């Protein structure tokens, strides 16, 4: 039976899973990068039907919700973050019916669905931008400088490299904080506000449980679009001094979206992809009348070292507590080097970092494939790359945050692991089964080549093996559900030797050895779960280097 999609009715939807009103406070949310998750039609590109078929896998993993990266009609100049029609599904990924089916089936399985919304910019193929009159009103156009207007209006640089301005053949310039194919909208225009509210209603009516808001810190620019000063942008990008990020004006927009979300039943949420210079600035996005969550990139960027990790955790908890919001934790996403590689300690360290994250109070975001322990793919040939930053020299890219800090990130990252800082290496399609590429991803290859040694990392190969990373994730997520002390709530630090972190949740102690060698600890209790086997001699636990253990206390 086919159903009319133009006017979806809430009655027809499977109701969203009920895990209490504030389900999001400690939800584990799994990021599906649609293009690379599962391909149903053999074109080598993951799609919505592929995701739907694999929902049982996500259910068995034990996550609460799925966040889908953009699947809207798009020329794909930036992996779909260049949207030409916010109410249409790109044929690459399926149809609106497929989206509807996916949301419904997910709800039936007890999984919530969050979709991406991209309000800072559209595609240059969006009908508004294609119409010169509309474009001038709804995007950021300025005359150029110089005698004939031949110079950009100011010195801002694109996150992907090169100037943030492109001149049209009509002679004026438009702003694009990202690729030239992603013109920035003018949020001073009320029609822009109205349109995004309508787009959100469209997806909320279709049943989505919330939005991940792309570049949530970018929509408002400082009045007069002031120059930054030549060469200063790269050093300032992690601070609040930039005139195009984290301007106070963005908060009024988030407040209006909160009202919209609250007007729907079922605890729909907004999560901000906001890069703010401090945890305190980030907390402003999750004040009670703003969004529900914000990604904690401070945690993602923390080095694997006990003292700074502890500082970041304290800072994050204090900042969000000051506004009554839960903290979120994230280690990997589609913009950064996978944490198996980024932390510089291979799988041992990645597994330990994950158990640390999942023991902390609040909500956690997982990025597809981390549960398989996938490393960053660092040897992609140039001819298969798609990251626009690669072609514009904006190394490294990432989400306009520290990952884009050309002063610090590339050296720190490249030094640790030899990765190149571009984003295709974390977007290689998932290995599901079998001995050879595309490892069950689909019937027709994969849009980026998969390494020849991923046969040992497939879902099939890891399922049922208690030593596998997949089973570690499954057990951790199951314990998070079963043990009342984990998830939302409090934690308190406990004494631990140098290089080791120990904190208690109700009934659970979490120990993390960040050192590269064994650390000794008085035996705290019974092991619930550990990223590596923990030998015990007498009343002493020998915590292996780069390990994390959950103890029943
Ligand atoms: C966000 C996305 C990133 C994209 C950028 C521009 O940072 O996560 O993938 O390139 O926004 O939309
Ligand atoms: Mg496909």
Structure confidence by residue, pLDDT tens digits, 34-81: 999 999 999 999 999 999 999 999 999 999 999 999 999 999 999 999
Cα 542 to middle of ligand 1, angstroms:
42
Q: Which ligand is nearest to the CA of 218?
A: 1
Residue identifier of the C-alpha nearest atom 3 of ligand 1: 399
pLDDT for res 402: 37
Q: Inform me whether the pLDDT recorded for 400 exceeds 80.
A: no
> Which residue in 378, 373, 372 sits closest to 337, CA to CA?
378
- Model confidence at 12, in pLDDT bands (50, 70, 90)? low
The ranges assigned to domains in the chain are: 23-120+210-479, 488-552
- Model confidence at 395, in pLDDT bands (50, 70, 90)? low
Q: Which ligand is nearest to the CA of 404?
A: 1
CB of 181 closer than 6 angstroms to any ligand 1 atom? no
Average pLDDT over residues 532-536: 98
pLDDT for res 418: 38
CB of 370 closer than 6 angstroms to any ligand 1 atom? no
Residue identifier of the C-alpha nearest atom 12 of ligand 1: 81
Average pLDDT over residues 110-124: 98
- 153 exposed, middle or buried (CB, 10 Å; 0-12, 13-18, 19+)? buried
> Which residue in 312, 119, 114 sits closest to 207, CA to CA?
114
pLDDT for res 7: 41
For 344, other C-beta atoms within 10 Å of its C-beta total: 15
Please state, in angstroms and rounded to a whole number, the distance separating the CA atoms of residues 92 and 103.
18
Please state, in angstroms and rounded to a whole number, the distance separating the CA atoms of residues 312 and 440.
39
pLDDT for res 20: 65
Cα 52 to middle of ligand 2, angstroms:
12
pLDDT for res 394: 64
Average pLDDT over residues 369-374: 98
Q: Inform me whether the pLDDT recorded for 370 exceeds 90.
A: yes
pLDDT for res 411: 28
The C-alpha angle 428, 429, 430, rounded to 5 degrees, equals 120
Q: Tens of pLDDT along 132-155?
A: 999 999 999 999 999 999 999 999
Q: Which CATH code, of 3.40.630.30, 2.60.120.1060, 3.40.50.1820, 3.20.20.80, is assigned to 23-120+210-479? A: 3.20.20.80
Residue identifier of the C-alpha nearest atom 1 of ligand 1: 399
Q: Inform me whether the pLDDT recorded for 2 exceeds 80.
A: no
Ligand 1: which of 74, 75, 78 to mutate, judged by most atoms within 8 Å of the beta carbon?
Answer: 78
- 95 exposed, middle or buried (CB, 10 Å; 0-12, 13-18, 19+)? middle
pLDDT for res 18: 65
pLDDT for res 235: 78
**Architecture of the domain delimited by 488-552:** Sandwich (2.60)
Please state, in angstroms and rounded to a whole number, the distance separating the CA atoms of residues 236 and 407.
9
CB of 400 closer than 6 angstroms to any ligand 1 atom? yes
Active-site positions read: 214, 273
- Model confidence at 390, in pLDDT bands (50, 70, 90)? confident
Cα 43 to middle of ligand 2, angstroms:
5
Cα 68 to middle of ligand 2, angstroms:
15
CB of 387 closer than 6 angstroms to any ligand 1 atom? no
Whole-structure pTM value: 0.94
Q: Inform me whether the pLDDT recorded for 288 exceeds 50.
A: yes
Q: Tens of pLDDT along 254-265?
A: 999 999 999 999
User: What is the average pLDDT score of the chain?
Assistant: 92
Q: Inform me whether the pLDDT recorded for 408 exceeds 70.
A: no
Using the structure block, give the residue that is written with the tokens 């990373």. Answer: 469
């Amino acid at each position: 039976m086919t159903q009319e999609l133009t006017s979806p009715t809430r009655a027809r939807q499977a109701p969203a899973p009920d895990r209490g009103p504030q389900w999001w406070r400690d939800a584990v949310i799994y990021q599906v990068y649609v293009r690379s998750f599962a391909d149903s039609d053999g074109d080598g590109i993951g799609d919505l039907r592929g995701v739907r078929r694999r929902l049982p896998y996500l259910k068995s993993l034990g996550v609460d919700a799925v966040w889908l990266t953009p699947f809207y009609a798009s020329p794909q100049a930036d992996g779909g973050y260049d949207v030409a029609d916010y109410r249409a599904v790109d044929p690459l990924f399926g149809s609106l019916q497929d989206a509807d089916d996916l949301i419904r089936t997910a709800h039936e399985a007890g999984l919530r669905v969050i979709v991406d919304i991209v309000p800072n910019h559209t595609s240059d193929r969006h009908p508004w931008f294609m119409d010169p009159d509309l474009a001038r009103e709804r995007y950021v156009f300025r005359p150029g400088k110089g005698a004939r207007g031949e110079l950009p209006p100011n010195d801002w640089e694109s996150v992907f490299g090169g100037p943030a301005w492109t001149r049209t053949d009509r002679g004026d310039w438009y702003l694009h904080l990202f690729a030239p194919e992603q013109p920035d909208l003018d949020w001073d225009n009320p029609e822009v506000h109205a349109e995004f509210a309508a787009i959100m209603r469209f997806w909320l009516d279709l049943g989505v449980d919330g939005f991940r808001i792309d570049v949530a810190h970018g929509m408002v620019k400082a009045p007069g679009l002031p120059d930054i000063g030549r060469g200063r942008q790269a050093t300032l990008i992690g601070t609040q001094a930039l005139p195009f990020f984290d301007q106070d004006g963005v908060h009024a927009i988030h407040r209006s979206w909160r009202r919209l979300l609250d007007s729907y039943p079922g605890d729909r949420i907004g999560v901000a992809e906001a890069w703010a210079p401090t945890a305190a600035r980030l907390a402003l996005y999750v004040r009670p009348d703003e969004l529900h969550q914000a990604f904690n990139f401070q945690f993602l960027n923390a080095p694997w070292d006990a003292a700074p990790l502890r500082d970041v955790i304290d800072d994050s908890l204090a900042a969000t507590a000051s506004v009554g919001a839960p903290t979120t934790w994230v280690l990997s996403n589609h913009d950064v080097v996978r944490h198996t590689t980024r932390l510089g300690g291979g799988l041992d360290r990645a597994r330990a970092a994950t158990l640390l994250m999942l023991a902390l109070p609040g909500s956690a975001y997982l990025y597809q494939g981390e549960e398989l322990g996938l490393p960053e793919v660092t040897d992609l040939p140039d001819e298969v790359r798609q990251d626009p930053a690669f072609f514009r020299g904006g190394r490294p890219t990432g989400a306009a945050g520290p990952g884009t800090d050309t002063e610090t990130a590339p050296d720190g990252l490249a030094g640790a692991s030899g990765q190149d800082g571009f984003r295709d290496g974390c977007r290689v399609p998932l290995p599901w089964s079998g001995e050879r590429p595309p490892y069950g991803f689909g019937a027709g290859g994969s849009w980026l080549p998969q390494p020849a040694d991923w046969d040992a990392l497939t879902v099939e190969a890891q399922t049922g093996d208690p030593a596998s990373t997949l089973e570690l994730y499954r057990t951790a997520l199951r314990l998070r559900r079963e043990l009342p002390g984990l998830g939302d709530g409090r934690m308190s630090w406990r004494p631990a030797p140098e290089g080791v972190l120990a904190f208690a949740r109700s009934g659970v102690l979490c120990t993390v050895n960040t050192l590269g060698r064994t650390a000794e600890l008085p035996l705290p209790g019974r092991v619930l779960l550990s990223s590596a086997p923990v030998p015990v001699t007498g009343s002493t636990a020998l915590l292996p280097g780069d390990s994390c253990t959950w103890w029943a206390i």
